[in-house]
Amino acid sequence: MRRIVLAITGASGAVYGLRLLETLAAAGVEIHLTISPAAQQVFYHEMGIELSLDHFDPRSLLPEPWGTWKKATLSHYQFRPLLDDSIQPASIGQLFYYPVRDYSAGIASGSFLTDGMAICPCSMGTLASISHGLSSNLIHRAADVHLKERRKLVLVPRETPLSSIALGNMQRLSEAGAVILPAMPGYYHQPQSLGDLVDFVVARVCDQLAVPHKLGRRWSETPSAGEFE
């Protein structure tokens, strides 16, 4: 079982983090999750999903029947189902949650082995803090650990336009070994829904983390051959 750290920050596009979480769970990944207070606000504003970070319930981030939010909440995205009644509980991944101020969490230490980390979406403030080594919360510290241990770190900024400062921070992180993967969906796969656009970006993140998925077709594949694997 792969062990992945997932951090969700307050950039717009919380749906990317939510869909990535669902994809990792469907792939049987051991997920170590932390969420910033700003992300909590964005979840409610963009999707109407209420989270309690002090008394966190992992089910609040998964759809029925595995979670508490109704699939109708994101029905306008027209996502392909990843988790449904046919999937046995033992086949989905485990989820561990850490408050963003919990520096005693395993993910704050390099001795806690992981297969990579994604910050999805990644706010410009988070990106700047990591770029300058300012570990002011668990998200920053976990990212710093992945850089120093030379493990995969994927940052998914969703911001436009980008200032010279933000671009400089991205360059510093890229040179330090991070993967800068902006939420820039492609269109060559002829998306039919908002969900297809979200899945394009989530698929790229999963590819970087070596997590198998079936979120759509790859370039040059025919519809019959058809899915990401």
SS3 32: strand
Is there a binding annotation on residue 75?
no
Is there a binding annotation on residue 168?
no
pLDDT at residue number 64:
75
Mean pLDDT calculated for residue range 204-224: 86
pLDDT at 13 over 60: yes
pLDDT at 97 over 90: yes
Residue pair 173/130 in contact (Cβ under 8 Å)? The answer is yes
Residue pair 138/102 in contact (Cβ under 8 Å)? The answer is yes
Quick count: other Cβ atoms within 10 Å of Cβ 78?
11
Is there a binding annotation on residue 176?
no
pLDDT at 170 over 80: yes
Query: Any idea where the domains of the chain sit in the sequence?
Result: 3-208
Is there a binding annotation on residue 133?
no
pLDDT in tens, 110-130: 999 999 999 999 999 999 999
pLDDT at residue number 228:
47
Is there a binding annotation on residue 174?
no
pLDDT at residue number 171:
99
Assigned CATH class of 3-208: alpha beta
pLDDT at 176 over 90: yes
pLDDT interval class at 86 (50, 70, 90): low
End-to-end CA, the chain: 17
pLDDT interval class at 229 (50, 70, 90): very low
pLDDT interval class at 92 (50, 70, 90): confident
Nearest partner of 24 among 210, 216, 225, judged by Cα = 210
Distances in Å between the Cα of 40 and the Cα atoms of 92, 108, 163 are: 24, 21, 25
Is there a binding annotation on residue 126?
yes
Is there a binding annotation on residue 12?
yes
pTM comes to: 0.92
pLDDT at residue number 159:
96
Is there a binding annotation on residue 86?
no
Mean pLDDT calculated for residue range 201-212: 98
pLDDT at residue number 226:
46
Is there a binding annotation on residue 68?
no
pLDDT at 137 over 90: yes
Is there a binding annotation on residue 204?
yes
pLDDT top residue among 154 and 80: 154
Is there a binding annotation on residue 10?
yes
